[in-house]
Amino acid sequence: MDTLLVFTTLPDAQSAHELARQLVELKLAACVSVQAPCRSVYRWQGALEQAEEIPLLIKTTRARYAALQEALCARHPYELPEILAVPVEAGLPGYLAWIAAETSQP
Tens digit of each residue's pLDDT (9 = 90 or more) over 9-48: 999 999 999 999 999 999 999 999 999 999 999 999 999 9
Decide: helix, strand or coil at residue 29: coil
C-beta neighbour count of 89 within 10 angstroms: 7
- Residue 14 maps to which CATH number? 3.30.70.120
Distance CA 96, CA 40 (A): 30
Cα 57 versus chain centre, distance: 5
Give me the domain span that covers residue 47: 3-102
Beta bridge partner(s), residue 31: 59
Tens digit of each residue's pLDDT (9 = 90 or more) over 44-85: 999 999 999 999 999 999 999 999 999 999 999 999 999 999
Domain count, the chain: 1
Q: How does residue 105 score in pLDDT terms, banded at 50, 70 and 90?
A: confident
